[in-house]
Structure 1
Amino acid sequence: MEGAGGYCLTPPLRAGLFAAIATLIADQASKLWLLHILDIAHRGAVRVTPFFDLVLERNPGISFGLLQSESPVAQILLMAVKAAAVIALAVWMARSRTWLATIALGLIIGGAIGNGIDRLAYGAVVDFALLHIEIGGKVYYWYVFNVADTAIVAGVAALLYDSFLGVPAAKAP
């Protein structure tokens, strides 16, 4: 079956599209639940385990809170960069030759779109997962993240694995 741009909707490409859609749904569902059902904004932090809490952080920047700006111009520029990246990743995914790379790219695309929806809907990315550990009486915290961030990291790790140990994939656009 031919897809847009003449690309064949192969089983790996279907799997990549499924990964993108499943990631997007899981990401947005978790955020909607957190914001509207759990009402974390009013409830405050929720301890889930001794090393994991649910919290509410709004990140107007990019990964790890870099380039934070709430100005409309900065948000539009970040969205434009994100849209260009998603398009490039989608072309790469359509050209990919391995299952792993195709699914990994789907995870990254779904995560990027999920965080992009947050930026449009809330003016910032909604982060909520906080890992921490106590060592010697001092508590160490990881960055607050979300399902989309997890999918992006997993996708990048899978791409790295595939590039070093897998069958050579198609070159990125």
Structure 2
Amino acid sequence: MTHLLSTLPRRRFVGALVAILVVVIGVFADQLVKEWAIEALPDSPPIEILPTFSLDLVFNPGVAFGMGADLGPLVGVILIGILISLTFWLAVLVWRGNHLVDTLLLSVVLAGGVGNVIDRVSRAPDSAPLTGEVVDYLAVSWFAIFNLADIFAVGGVLAWIVVVMARSRRLSVDE
């Protein structure tokens, strides 16, 4: 216990640094690729990369698979509420000095969410805040069209669940 207390300030600093860097780099990468997609893919047919994978620019007014498009600004408000909650939870984890892997993965999720909310805010008409469309460009013909932020959000959540379950399983075996 004494060892944990002596390293707690260092763990907090490293956790905070990891969280901030991951979110900033993730959001920057997402926005950079979206700007590239807008410049390189407008008014062009999909660019086939593999037989079922292509680059195809789409502006999505909803969330996953276009769901919620008819909810207007409420979708943005809900997403912002989720991101605020996730930010608070992440701050608590960092403050407690929890596992760095949790901080890393949840920061990836936060980066994805922030990247898509930036689209909702920055691409909305002045008369309808939070109704902007999310830039999607990665098309899997048998699945969906999505973007890097979606990969961050979904991949980060799934990886975090796997890590938590593995840790839980390991703890229950140790007991």
TM-score normalised by structure 2 residue count: 0.77
- Counterpart in the other structure of 2:74: 77
- Greater C-alpha Rg: 2
Shift in Å at residue 13 of structure 1?
2.5
Higher share of residues assigned helix: 2
Aligned with 2:38 (options 35, 38, 52): 35
* Residues 49-64 of structure 1 mapped to structure 2, 5 A cutoff: 49-64=50-65
Percent identity between matched residues is 27
- Counterpart in the other structure of 1:14: 17
SS in 1 for 2:139: strand
- For 1:93 and 1:53, the matched residues in 2 are separated by 35
Q: What are structure 2's unaligned runs of at least 5 residues? A: 1-10, 124-131, 170-175
SS in 1 for 2:115: helix
CA contact (8 A) 1:98 1:167 kept: no
- For 2:110 and 2:58, the matched residues in 1 are separated by 22
SS in 2 for 1:44: coil
Shift in Å at residue 145 of structure 1?
0.6
CA contact (8 A) 2:68 2:75 kept: no
Asked if 1:118 is matched to 2:127, the reply is no
Aligned with 1:94 (options 75, 91, 94): 91
- For 2:60 and 2:86, the matched residues in 1 are separated by 23
Q: What are structure 1's unaligned runs of at least 5 residues? A: 1-7, 133-140, 169-173
- For 1:158 and 1:12, the matched residues in 2 are separated by 18
Amino acid at match of 1:110: A
SS in 2 for 1:61: coil
SS in 1 for 2:15: helix
